[in-house]
Structure 1
């Protein structure tokens, strides 16, 4: 791990300060910390202390799988089924029209924005003015055929508390103990790092708590999910031959998704640097989705040493995690820097994951 520690130390030196502070963590299935290293400062303040190795961090999309766990608990308790229509609980969604067969999109989709500006969109907005917030958020035509505040309370009672994750919250602004250890969110400008100009209201966890959660998921017996649900976190969900799988493996947007993957160098496509199409013949990456994140089914010719079976995902503040049930390890790289996939941070992340997989992830 020397290369990672050297790169991180250089990046967090106050004189250069490419990164404010960051933490790398590796835990095993028993919850033992195999590796932990932190460097940098807790904030941009001149007298800021060194970053706490157990600091709290906002997860962004890296925390989506916690909501997935909550949903799977409801499946375990026979409260809902994975194939139940959402309109069973939000009947307003059952009446939505369809613009084109390509998926349920967010309000920022260009085609949805054009619809909202149309007379039909204005009429629909008026008709749903008193609807639930979730309904209003998605009260636009579907793009394919088809409890806000209470989620935090549910997760606290059914995930965080049973696992002893006492420095984690969906409402960090209400927890002084969580905020006190929060690594400051910063934003990169052309010349320096500055405080992020926005309020963070995302799920926030301590690095220590993150390790506890992953140990439960990769361990022999989870305290929070049935064995059947745990399997779904590691089992590919997109069927061979499906359009969804073809779309995933044919991704050309140049998004790395999770920087623990050592991706091939971009190539020029119509004058735009683009990652090569995922190789379907075993010469590159073979990817799928599980109910937790992106599944690496095959890795060929890549120097990272990441074993197939790895499930991984990242989040906007450049938080990346990866877990491998058979190898019995989980990895986390956490910083709090915008924008996502920041080039300077990605280089350090790759050093961490490359070193961690080589050192801890190659057990038989």
Structure 2
């Protein structure tokens, strides 16, 4: 007799109302109403008799946690593009299927990268804060709040995948010259409309550009891809933009480079926050050398709904006995590789 029981799922963070309502119709759904990261013990307890864990980047699903999961759990459906928080090898060894929600964040993330690219040289945050703080303005002056134009500057994109290409399209419209470093050179159909220059050597590229923008996943190979040595090799007065992962940059070296005046600044949507934001980084933000935003690159209602819909599709396909469309496999396996997720 066919089992008509609805799949039982645990959702670790609050999702858009329309997604929670749809999940509630399709599945037996428990949602973490507190909307705070769950302790490992609470996560394990909440998964009793559940089929699927709907996780997010704030859930640390390492080898130890995977070993403690109830036998009923068969799938980890990540609400998000990145899966840095999940030990994929351990999950597969335990017989778990892991999915994510790629492709839906491209436009919003590219928009944020472009906003940050504009905000720092044009002193947008500084100008806004000055008016709010002073609550007065003497009026326009020829020398007031002078910044720098983007047109004519060179942008070096690290990772010319979906998001990197979308950033390049926006940047070209602002008159930036597009340079890029990527694991694979893009075909002429991509390069030619952008007049993009491919660099097989990252060190050489970062020495030649005015802005370095990071759009590559966090892997063993890309961990601190902008290390102290590469930051020192960047052009005097250049900028760093990061909307990808904090681990791509040696944050202490970045701070030191800005403090010394070698780098003009950085615009960061991601940064180290395990023990609180680095006070030196905050001091640079207060001095208007750094623009910080609170991991907002994908924070649009449209993106969050599309992510939720992708989670639902993945769960339904899996529970119906089919391969989910966004199945994540480890490096070197057939199918989607972890290194392909955000580039």
TM tier, smaller? under 0.3
> Highest relative contact order (Cα 8 Å, sep 6+), 1 or 2?
1
TM-score for the superposition, normalised by structure 1: 0.23
TM-score for the superposition, normalised by structure 2: 0.24
- The structure that is helix-richer by fraction is 2
